[in-house]
């Protein structure tokens, strides 16, 4: 309690005052603190910005890479490099009148550059996003457009269909039964207005209408176009023939001076524009080839013109003179060689050409002469690419003899050879029966089927080119070496590099040519030059025609029998019974048996008669005719044919000869062996025509043994022995190339294959004919020219006669039917019971037994001799000789340890032997010669 009189302030007013003073001080303090804090933070930001700008000015390039730049930090973390958004920075002050320092300028520039970089990065990010959005909009718009177009097309199609249906209904209402009736009446109308509209339609839209028709029916429109175009082309052909007809009122020299191919082509294109355009599209549209295509076009036009009119031969007249002046064949051969013939894998075939020329009156400088030369043919290998047969594939020759490593089983046919040969024999037995009776052939042709195939050459047409003949005697070793050198280095113009690129080259010919080639290879085996070392690129190919000649004549000699014998079981007896021309045959005769008549006797007459007689014996009927006329099935024929085949099997003879001596039947044994050997010859001949070289090898495997069994054919036995083993040992590529080109097919037709050496023999024949006709003007230079075109002249005459059916003015070559002679032989066989076993056959002791050549050839007596297969064993002695010169003399053959009989005489070819080839017509030699004389101006 205070004293009285003291003034008092109310308690509530003091409290209120104190509170107001306290709040004011607090507000002032807070404002002071906030100002100081803000100023402090602004100073710190300024210092940090200056420090950052200095670092960027020192380290960041002048033109930053925006693509790799790290995005700037956000605005909350980025130090301010410009004016503060709260307190604006005061402009820099200049003290004492001094300008702003360089450091500050750099800081400002750095800040500006950093700002521009941030702006650039922001713009790029925005552009990328805009592009993405724009692409999505474009894709959406394109899809909507396509959908609208599809809907519009569908709507238009519906409208078009409705219009067509409405038009068709209108036509139907107008009594037009078909649409064609409307078009026919529309285009055929005579009303001027309608005709005008039809003409306008064709004029404006004719091409489109034809295109629409071609889309609907291409074949029909093309056929119609061809029908309409042919008369036009024919008319132009006539005009072209008139144009190219020479003006005979002018001298030849005058025509020759004004003869220009370019002028002829220009005139031809005016006279026959459509024909020229057609030929241009056919052969000149592409740029392939280096030849002048205008020359090709005018050449074809001239050929067509002469086919239209034979007097339109102005071009042929001029070119003929040129060819004769330039030695046509040599020029032709060089052109073909440079055009790519030597760019293909090829083989060569040659043969010795002997021409005997006799004079009517002998003088000092005019006497009988015997000319020797060589003809050559070049054959393009089938199925072999150039360089495919590399030279390394050939084994090096390091011995004079062709050394062969062989096993005892290599000296005999394999089980596969024997089985396949029996299957072929059975087929030919059945084929003989069906051929004799056409009714059976028509009924059972499908059951018989084709002959079993072992390895057939694919059907193709062989490309061959005869080379110019050479006046070189090929029948000697020196002559063979000269022939090889001439062919390889002069005719074909091979170099060592070219031969390596070409690869292995086969050299075909007869056995003599093959042996001489082997000697040349042995003589040059150590030469270092490739083209001189023949064994490094040459591989011999045995000609099968001469093998067939030897096989046929060997069969005739073995089974000819004794002339005038009273015991019929020989070919002589059959030849005499048929009253055929007498021939001389047998191993003891000095004269060579003729090939064609004896071959025909065996395969055309004797063998079919024996097979048919076998069917008569085992068919179980009274006669063969009655059995054939009965209701036969193929199951009835098959077992009988199997039994008949035993009459053609040497195994049957082996069984018969195992009987006691008193029970032997020599006539039956001789007949069966004859059938067996003739059937092998038939199989060999047929397989050559069909191109089945697998069957050929099977027969050669048998003949390899049988030729040795004759005792008179050792050279052919050795050649076949070497061939069979080589075919087993060679690499597959070399073996396939050899087999696929062992035969030629000049026509590309089935059953038209022939031997390579037969092709060469035909060339020799025509060369002799033409050479002898040349008379006193004959020369080897002229013969080398004409040999190149002989086959062309022959083919022209044959094709003309065939296509135009020109009558033949010579002796017809139609073969007479052999059915009557076969029937006579069947009766003769039946009456003598030659194919029936007779235990007590009269006179059998006086019948000379025929050898089973398979037994005698495979006998151990030969294999155990010191000289057995000596020609294929390594020689230990060394022969000294000069390089590139044949060292061996002919006397060295005496050391071979085998009987050197002249078995190569069995393959000599006569003119009559060539007529056995059905594709040739050597009987027309005189007519061919007349054509040759007319063409080449003899």
Give pLDDT tens digits for 696-744: 999 999 999 999 888 888 899 999 999 999 999 999 999 999 999 999 9
Q: What is the pLDDT of residue 100?
A: 58
**Closest Cα partner for 114 from 77, 67, 78, 76?**
78
**Closest Cα partner for 743 from 308, 333, 381?**
381
- The better pLDDT of the pair 386, 860 is held by 386
Q: How deeply is 610 buried, as exposed, middle or buried, from its count of CB atoms within 10 A (0-12, 13-18, 19+)?
A: buried
Residue 124 above 60 pLDDT?
A: yes
Domain boundary among 197, 216, 235: 216
Asked whether 753 and 468 are in contact (CB, 8 A), the reply is no
- Please indicate, yes or no, whether residues 309 and 269 belong to a single structural domain of this protein: yes
Question: Which tens digit of pLDDT belongs to each residue from 407-464?
Answer: 888 889 999 999 999 999 999 999 999 999 999 999 999 999 999 999 999 999 998 8
Residue 622 above 80 pLDDT?
A: yes
- Please indicate, yes or no, whether residues 157 and 244 belong to a single structural domain of this protein: no
On the CB side of 143, CA atoms within 13 Å amount to 6
Give the highest mean pLDDT range of 567-581, 666-680, 865-879: 666-680
- Please indicate, yes or no, whether residues 159 and 188 belong to a single structural domain of this protein: no
Residue 406 above 70 pLDDT?
A: yes
Question: Which tens digit of pLDDT belongs to each residue from 264-301?
Answer: 788 888 888 888 888 877 765 555 444 467 777 777 78
**Closest Cα partner for 301 from 335, 332, 339, 261?**
261
- Please indicate, yes or no, whether residues 190 and 231 belong to a single structural domain of this protein: no
Confidence of residue 851 (pLDDT cuts 50, 70, 90): very high
**Closest Cα partner for 852 from 681, 700, 657?**
657
- Please indicate, yes or no, whether residues 238 and 207 belong to a single structural domain of this protein: no
Give the Cα separation of 514 and 511 in Å (integer).
Answer: 5
Give the Cα separation of 249 and 238 in Å (integer).
Answer: 21
Q: Which domain holds residue 208?
A: 180-216
Q: Give the three-class secondary structure for 744.
A: strand
Q: How far is CA 706 from the centre of its chain?
A: 37
Domain boundary among 117, 144, 175: 175
Report yes or no on 310 lying in a domain: yes
- Please indicate, yes or no, whether residues 237 and 281 belong to a single structural domain of this protein: yes
- The better pLDDT of the pair 338, 251 is held by 251
Report yes or no on 651 lying in a domain: no
How many structural domains does the chain have? Answer: 3
Give the Cα separation of 854 and 411 in Å (integer).
Answer: 11
- Two tokens, residue 517: 């080639």
- Please indicate, yes or no, whether residues 295 and 204 belong to a single structural domain of this protein: no
Q: What is the pLDDT of residue 49?
A: 52
Give the Cα separation of 463 and 461 in Å (integer).
Answer: 6
**Closest Cα partner for 541 from 504, 507, 587?**
507
Asked whether 612 and 432 are in contact (CB, 8 A), the reply is yes
Across 579-589, average pLDDT: 89
Average pLDDT, the chain: 77
- Two tokens, residue 198: 């039809």
For 610-675, the three-class secondary structure string (H helix, E strand, C coil) is HHHHHHHHHCCCCCHHHHHHCCCCHHHHHHHHHHHHHHHCHHHHHHHCCCCHHHCCHHHHHHHHHH
Give the Cα separation of 614 and 631 in Å (integer).
Answer: 20
Q: What is the pLDDT of residue 673?
A: 95
- Please indicate, yes or no, whether residues 144 and 232 belong to a single structural domain of this protein: no
Q: Where are the beta strands (DSSP E) in 388-450?
A: none
Q: What is the pLDDT of residue 847?
A: 85
Residue 367 above 80 pLDDT?
A: no
Of 227-241, 663-677, 919-933, the range with the lowest mean pLDDT is 919-933
- Two tokens, residue 572: 């002589």
Give the Cα separation of 42 and 258 in Å (integer).
Answer: 111
Report yes or no on 295 lying in a domain: yes
Residue 541's DSSP bridge partners are 508
**Closest Cα partner for 742 from 456, 465, 480?**
456
Report yes or no on 901 lying in a domain: no
- Please indicate, yes or no, whether residues 240 and 321 belong to a single structural domain of this protein: yes
- Please count the helices (runs of H) and the strands (runs of E) in the chain: 35, 7
Question: Which tens digit of pLDDT belongs to each residue from 745-796?
Answer: 988 999 999 999 999 988 888 777 766 655 555 677 777 777 777 776 565 5
- Please indicate, yes or no, whether residues 230 and 287 belong to a single structural domain of this protein: yes
Residue 327 falls in which region: left (phi positive, over 0), alpha (psi -120 to 50) or beta: left
The percentage of residues in the chain with a pLDDT greater than 90, rounded to a whole number, is 35
Domain boundary among 274, 298, 325: 325
- Please indicate, yes or no, whether residues 245 and 186 belong to a single structural domain of this protein: no
Residue 74 above 50 pLDDT?
A: no
Q: Give the three-class secondary structure for 367.
A: coil
Report yes or no on 896 lying in a domain: no
Virtual torsion, Cα 878, 884, 890, 896, nearest 10 deg: 40
Asked whether 765 and 922 are in contact (CB, 8 A), the reply is yes
Virtual torsion, Cα 176, 180, 181, 184, nearest 10 deg: 140
Give the Cα separation of 699 and 702 in Å (integer).
Answer: 5
Report yes or no on 898 lying in a domain: no
Asked whether 705 and 854 are in contact (CB, 8 A), the reply is yes
Report yes or no on 256 lying in a domain: yes
Report yes or no on 143 lying in a domain: yes
Q: How deeply is 896 buried, as exposed, middle or buried, from its count of CB atoms within 10 A (0-12, 13-18, 19+)?
A: middle
Q: What is the pLDDT of residue 860?
A: 56
Of 332-341, 563-572, 665-674, 814-823, the range with the lowest mean pLDDT is 332-341
- Please indicate, yes or no, whether residues 194 and 254 belong to a single structural domain of this protein: no
How many other CB atoms are found less than 10 A from the CB of residue 323?
A: 15
Q: What is the pLDDT of residue 246?
A: 78
Asked whether 79 and 52 are in contact (CB, 8 A), the reply is yes
Return the DSSP state at 72: P
């Amino acid at each position: 309690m205070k004293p009285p009189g003291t003034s008092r302030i109310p308690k509530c007013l003091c409290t209120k005052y104190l509170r107001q003073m306290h709040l004011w001080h607090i507000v002032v303090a807070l404002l002071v603190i906030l100002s100081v804090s803000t100023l402090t933070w602004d100073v710190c930001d300024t210092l940090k910005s200056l420090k950052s700008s200095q670092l960027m000015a020192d380290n960041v390039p002048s033109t930053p890479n925006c693509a790799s730049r790290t995005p700037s930090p956000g605005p909350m973390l980025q130090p301010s490099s410009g004016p503060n958004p709260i307190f604006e920075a005061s402009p820099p002050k200049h003290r004492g009148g001094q300008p702003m320092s360089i450091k500050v300028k750099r800081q400002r520039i750095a800040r500006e550059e950093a700002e521009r970089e941030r702006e650039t990065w922001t713009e790029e990010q925005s552009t990328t996003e805009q592009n993405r959005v724009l692409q999505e909009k474009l894709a959406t718009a394109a899809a909507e457009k396509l959908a609208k177009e599809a809907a519009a097309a569908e709507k238009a199609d519906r409208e078009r269909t409705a219009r067509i249906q409405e038009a068709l209904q209108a036509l139907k209402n107008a009594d037009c039964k078909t649409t064609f009736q409307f078009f026919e009446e529309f285009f055929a109308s005579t009303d001027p207005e309608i005709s005008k509209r039809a003409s306008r339609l064709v004029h404006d839209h004719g091409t489109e209408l034809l295109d629409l028709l071609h889309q609907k029916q291409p074949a029909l429109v093309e056929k119609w176009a061809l029908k309409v175009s042919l008369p036009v082309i024919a008319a132009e052909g006539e005009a072209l023939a008139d144009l190219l007809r020479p003006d005979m009122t002018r001298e030849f020299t005058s025509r020759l001076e004004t003869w220009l191919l370019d002028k002829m082509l220009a005139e031809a294109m005016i006279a026959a524009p459509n024909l020229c355009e057609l030929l241009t599209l056919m052969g000149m549209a592409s740029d392939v080839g280096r030849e002048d295509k205008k020359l090709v076009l005018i050449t074809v036009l001239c050929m067509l013109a002469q086919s239209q009119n034979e007097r339109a031969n102005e071009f042929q007249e001029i070119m003929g003179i040129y060819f004769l002046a330039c030695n046509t064949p040599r020029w032709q051969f060089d052109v073909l060689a440079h055009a790519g013939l030597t760019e293909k894998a090829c083989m060569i075939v040659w043969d010795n050409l002997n021409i005997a020329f006799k004079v009517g009156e002998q003088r000092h400088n005019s006497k009988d002469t015997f000319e020797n030369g060589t003809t050559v043919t070049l054959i393009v290998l089938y199925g072999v690419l150039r360089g495919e047969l590399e030279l390394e594939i050939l084994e090096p020759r390091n011995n004079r003899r062709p050394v062969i490593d062989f096993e005892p089983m290599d000296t005999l046919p394999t089980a596969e050879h024997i089985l396949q040969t029996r299957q072929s024999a059975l087929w030919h037995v059945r084929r003989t029966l069906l051929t004799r009776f056409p009714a059976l052939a028509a009924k059972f042709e499908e059951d018989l089927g084709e002959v079993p195939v072992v390895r057939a050459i694919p059907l193709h047409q062989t490309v061959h080119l005869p080379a110019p003949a050479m006046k070189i005697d090929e029948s000697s070793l020196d002559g063979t070496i000269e022939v090889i050198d001439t062919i390889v280095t002069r005719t074909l113009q091979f170099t060592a590099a070219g031969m390596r690129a070409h690869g292995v080259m086969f050299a075909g010919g007869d056995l003599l040519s093959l042996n001489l080639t082997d000697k040349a290879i042995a003589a040059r085996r150590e030469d270092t030059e490739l083209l001189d070392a023949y064994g490094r690129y040459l591989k011999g190919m045995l000609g099968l025609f001469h093998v067939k000649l030897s096989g046929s004549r060997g069969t005739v000699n073995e089974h000819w029998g004794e002339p005038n014998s009273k015991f019929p079981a020989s070919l002589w007896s059959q030849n005499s019974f048929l009253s055929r021309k007498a021939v001389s045959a047998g191993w003891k005769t000095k004269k060579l048996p003729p090939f064609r008549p004896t071959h025909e006797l065996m395969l055309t007459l004797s063998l079919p008669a024996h097979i048919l007689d076998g069917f008569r014996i085992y068919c179980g009927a009274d006669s063969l005719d009655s059995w054939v006329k009965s209701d036969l099935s193929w199951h009835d024929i098959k077992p009988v044919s199997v039994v008949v085949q035993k009459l053609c099997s040497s195994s049957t003879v082996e069984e018969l000869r195992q009987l006691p001596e008193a029970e032997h039947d020599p006539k039956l044994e001789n007949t069966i062996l004859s059938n067996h050997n003739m059937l092998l010859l038939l199989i060999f001949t047929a397989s050559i025509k069909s191109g089945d070289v697998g069957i050929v090898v099977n027969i050669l495997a048998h003949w390899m043994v049988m030729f040795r069994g004759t005792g008179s054919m050792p050279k052919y036995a050795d050649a076949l022995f070497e061939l069979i083993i080589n075919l087993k040992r060679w690499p597959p590529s070399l073996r396939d190339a050899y087999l696929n080109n062992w035969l030629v097919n000049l026509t590309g037709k089935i059953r038209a294959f022939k031997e390579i050496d037969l092709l060469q023999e035909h060339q020799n024949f025509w060369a002799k004919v033409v050479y002898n006709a040349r008379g006193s003007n004959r020369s080897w230079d002229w013969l080398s020219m004409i040999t190149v075109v002989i086959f062309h002249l022959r083919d022209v005459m044959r094709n003309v006669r065939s296509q135009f059916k020109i009558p033949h003015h010579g002796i017809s070559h139609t073969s007479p039917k052999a059915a009557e002679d076969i029937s006579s032989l069947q009766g003769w066989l039946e009456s003598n019971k030659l194919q029936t076993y007779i235990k007590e056959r009269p006179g059998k002791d006086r019948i000379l037994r025929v050898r089973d050549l398979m037994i005698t050839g495979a006998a151990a007596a030969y294999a155990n001799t010191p000289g057995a297969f000596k020609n294929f064993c390594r020689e230990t002695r060394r022969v000294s000789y000069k390089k590139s010169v044949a060292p061996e003399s002919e006397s060295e053959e005496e050391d071979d340890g085998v009987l050197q009989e002249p078995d190569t005489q069995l393959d000599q070819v006569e003119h009559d032997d060539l007529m056995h080839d059905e594709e040739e017509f050597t009987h027309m030699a005189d007519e061919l010669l007349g054509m040759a004389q007319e063409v080449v101006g003899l």
